Structure formats: structure tokens, C-alpha cells
Amino acid sequence: MTLRRVLLDTGPIVAWLDRSDAHHRAVQSFLDGYRGELITTWPVLTEACHLVPASAAPLLLRWIERGGATLVDIPVTSLRAMATRMDKYADLPMDLADATLLWVAEHEGILDVLTLDRRDFGIYRTARGRLLRDVLERVGI
């Protein structure tokens, strides 16, 4: 699949690195065919390192370092907007990793997201009311 830039959420990272995960094959299939840039944030990487098997965390860090995904820095000046967004979606709740991805979506104009969290990302909207597009769903995975 050729999409220029796709946001990368925690769930697919965990599924990709954990062969026992129910979504491993779907994520692996997507990544095998993907030709573009994966964009993520430090909170997503931190969350993924916490959730993957301990032996997989160093593999993930090395993959990122080799260019597997681009880490976007989140400026301190954006924290208030993210806190407001987390308040808005408190009933889900929205975690910091998701808040950063939505911030990147708004500031980089990226609306495609590789996620397994269809419920939350099916509700989140950018400041302009735009819905992010789940790329796994779009390709029928």
C-alpha cells in the first residue's frame, strides 16, 4: 500500500512484535506492503516498550533508530491543548499517547492512522472536526 505518511499507534507496534498477539498477522501484512513514512511520538514508543515482551523492547528501539518510524517531538507549548483534548474525551478516556497522535495529525495534516483502537480513533476529531482514517480498515485487514 502506498500512503505517504501514516501515524503509528501503540497497538500495532505491540502486535507486530508479539507473534502471539491476535493482530500480529494483520499488522505484519500491512507493514510488509507499506511504502511510506510511519510517524509516531515518544509517548507511543514509551507505551509500546512497556507493553511488549521485555526482549522485544530493544528490538523496537533499534528499529526506530534505523528509520523504521519517525519520532515527532511534541513541544511543551502544546501540552495545554492536549490536556484540554484529554478532558474532552475523558469518558473514553484519551491517554497521552493518543493525544500526541491527534496533535501530530492536526499540525502535520496527517489523517491516516495505523491503529487497533478503532473505538477511540473512530470518535476522536481534529480541531477542525476531521476524523482520522484507520488504514487497516481501509485495506480490509
Q: Give the pLDDT score at 128.
A: 93
Q: What is the mean pLDDT of each run of 10 residues along the chain (141 residues)?
A: 84 96 94 95 98 95 97 96 96 96 96 95 94 85 62
State residue 100's pLDDT score: 98
pLDDT of residue 141: 62
Among 41, 48, 60, smallest CA distance to 102 is for: 41
Q: What is the pLDDT of residue 137?
A: 84
pLDDT of residue 61: 97
Residue 140 has a pLDDT of 66
Give the separation between CA 30 and CA 1, rounded to whole angstroms: 8
**Could you give the CA distance from residue 141 to residue 133 in angstroms, rounded to a whole number?**
13
Instruction: Residue 105: name the closest of 128, 79, 88 by CA.
Output: 128
Map out the domains of the chain with their CATH numbers.
Answer: 5-138 (3.40.50.1010)
